[in-house]
Amino acid sequence: MRDKPNESLTRTASTGPSPGGAGGGDGGTESAERFLPGAIVSERYRIRGRIGVGGMGEVYHADDLRLGVAVALKFLNLASAGDPARLQALVDEVRVARQVAHPNVCRVYDIGEVDGLPFLTMEFIDGEDLASLLRRVGRLPAPKLVELAHQLCAGLAAAHQAGIVHRDLKPANIMVDGRGIARIADFGIAVPAGTPTEGEVSGTPAYMAPEQRRAEAPTPASDFYALGLILYEAAVGARYVERPDGEVALPGIHEALARGISYCLESDPERRPKSALEISALLPGGNLLAATLEAGGTPSPELVAVSGDSRGLSGRAAGGLLALAVAGLAAVIWLAGTAQIVNRVPLAKPPAVLVDRARDLLARTAPGVSRRHEAWDFGYDDSAFEAAVAERKGSRYWESLRDRRPPPIVFWYRTSPHVIAPPDLTGNLYSDVPPLDVPGMSLVVLDTEGRLLKLRTVPADVETGRKAGEGTDAGDSAGVALWPALLQMAGFEPDSLRETVPREVPPAYASERRAWVGEWPGGGGGGRAVRIEGSALAGQPIEFRAGVPDRAKTAEAMKVAAASI
C-alpha cells in the first residue's frame, strides 16, 4: 500500500516579540517611544510596549480594553502621517487585508486616529518574524520547513481567492507564533490582481519576481516566485542567487520539496504553478483531498487536476510509467494519477466519520491500546490498482473500479502512547512509518465506506498476555466473540466464509491464529476471491487482514493483460 502522510511537524518555540511585530516591517533606526507602557490610546487601548519600528512608523503591543484581547497597533510616523499618499496606503491596507480571512493570514481589524496620528489595529502574534528566526537558527529543519510551506500556501490561496496579490512577500512579513503557526502579514502594497502599475516598481528588490522588477501588472505568479525565494532561503540558510543555466541547486533537500521550490523559481511566470494549491500538492504531505474533505468541501476540478500533475510524480511512479508504457490502459492509470482516482473513485465518507469509525472499532475489539496520540491519512492500494488493470472490462472499467472490492483508496488511522514522530528529516508519517513497535500502538485501515480492511495492535503487556494464553484456552474462548465481530466489521457474514489453515506469520507472538476464504461480498466484489487472516493474544487481536494480496498472481495477470493489448 502506498499512502501519503498526515503529520504534526516539529514546532519552533518563540523567544518573544521581534522587531517585525505583527507585520511591523524590516526594522529601522531606533527612536524614542511615542507611547510608554500603561498609556491609554483612544480611550480603548492600553499600551504594553513597542515591538517594532521602521521607516514608516511603529508597532505597539496593546490590550483592547473593550474586547479584552491583545492587539497590535501600527502607527504612521509624523512625516508619513502628513503625507496623503501614505495615509491612503494605510487605509488601503486595512481595506485589502480585511478581504482575506484565514488562520495563516494576520488579521487586520480597523483604523483609528489619536492626536492626529492614524493607526491600524491588527492581530497580535506572540512570536517572531521569519527573518528574525532565520537569523537566529540559520535554516529550518525539513519537517518544520514543510509545515511552514503548507501554511504559507494556504494563506496565499486565501488571498488569491479574494483576488489579492501580496506583492511584498518576504521573511520579515511572515510571523511565526510560539506554536509554530505561520501568518502572512503586511498587506501594505497588496493590490487586486492585474492592477496596472503605471511603470512603478513596488516591493522589496531581494524578493521580487523578474516581471515584478519590470513593473508588469501583478499576478499570483509573482507571489509564487517570492514564496520560492523564501523557502529556498529557509532550506539552505542563504538567499537564492540565480544561475545562468536557470538550475536551482538544492542538494540534500527532500526531492518533493526541492521540486516545489524549483517550480516556483521558474523565470517565466507562465511556467510557474497556477495556484498555491498546486504548490502544496507537490510538497511532502500534500494531501489536499483529505484537507478538503475534512473541511466539509467537495474537490473542485482545479484541485482534481492539480492532484494529478505529472510534476508531482516520484521517482518510483516515474519508473512505473516507463515499465507500464506498453500496457495501454495501465499507463493511462499511472499517468492520470490522483486526478483520475479522485474524479472516478469518490470517497464515500469524510475523514471525521472514518476517524470515529476507527476509534469505535478499537474500543470494541482492543480497548487496551493507547489513543493518547493519533495520526491518519488516505493511502493507495497498489495491489488493488494492479488487479483492476488485469480485470479491465472495456468501457465499464471506471464504473467497476468505483465500487471495487478490495478498494483502490484506503484510509489509515494510527494511535500511540507517545508522539508519533517522523523517523527522518522528510517529516513523513505513513501507515507503517515509523514502524508499530511500541506497546500500546495500533493501526486501523478502512475502505472509504468505513469497512475494516486491516487491524494491527501491539499489546501493552506482551509477557502477561503470553502467560495468560499459554496452556489454556483463554485466547480461543475470547476469539469466539472476537472473530465474528471483526468479520462483520469488514463487511462479511461469517457463515459465508470457509475456515482454512492460516499461512501468514503474525507480526508478534500470538496464542491463536485463524484464517478464512471466500468471496468479496456485494456487487463491487465481482466474485473475486478473498483470504482473511487473523491472530490474537489472550483475546486481543494482534493482526486482522482482509484480502492479503498475492503479488505473484497479480504480476502474472499484468503480463497477460499487457500482452493482450
**Quick check: bond before 406 cis, omega within 30?**
yes
| Three-state helix/strand/coil letters over 310-346 | HHHCCHHHHHHHHHCHHHCHHHHHHHHHHHHHHHHCC
**What pLDDT, on a 0 to 100 scale, did the predictor assign at position 429?**
67
**What pLDDT, on a 0 to 100 scale, did the predictor assign at position 79?**
63
* C-alpha separations of 170 from 183, 242, 467, 525 in Å: 12, 17, 62, 53
Strand partners, 129: 175
pLDDT in tens, the chain (565 residues): 544 333 222 222 222 333 334 443 444 444 677 889 999 999 999 999 998 886 667 899 999 999 889 999 988 776 666 677 777 877 888 888 888 888 899 998 888 888 878 888 999 998 899 999 999 999 998 888 988 998 999 899 999 998 999 999 999 999 999 888 999 998 888 888 888 877 788 889 999 999 999 999 899 999 999 999 999 999 999 999 888 777 888 877 888 888 899 999 999 999 999 988 888 878 876 654 444 434 444 444 444 444 444 333 333 333 333 333 333 333 333 333 443 444 445 566 777 788 889 999 999 998 888 888 888 887 766 666 666 666 655 545 555 555 677 787 788 999 988 877 666 544 556 777 888 888 999 999 998 889 999 999 998 654 444 444 443 333 343 445 899 999 999 999 989 999 999 998 898 889 999 999 999 887 666 678 899 999 999 888 999 999 754 433 334 444 444 443 3
**Quick check: bond before 196 cis, omega within 30?**
no
CB atoms within 10 A of CB 470: 12
CA distance 81 to 313: 52
* C-alpha separations of 183 from 2, 128, 176, 370 in Å: 32, 11, 6, 34
Exposure of 493 by Cβ count < 10 A (0-12 exposed, 13-18 middle, 19+ buried)? exposed
pTM, entire model: 0.51
Pull the grid cell for residue 438: 511500541
Q: How many helices (H) and strands (E) does the chain have?
A: 18, 20
Coil, helix or strand for 174?
strand
Max Cα-Cα span within the chain = 91
- The torsion angles phi and psi of 269, rounded to 5 degrees, stand at -60, -25
Instruction: Look at residues 214, 333, 192 and name the one whose alpha carbon lies nearest to residue 269.
Output: 214
Pull the grid cell for residue 212: 515584478
229 in Cβ contact with 265 (< 8 Å): yes
Strand-by-strand arrangement of the 182-184 sheet: 127-129, 174-177, 182-184
Pull the grid cell for residue 225: 516566485
CA distance 382 to 238: 40
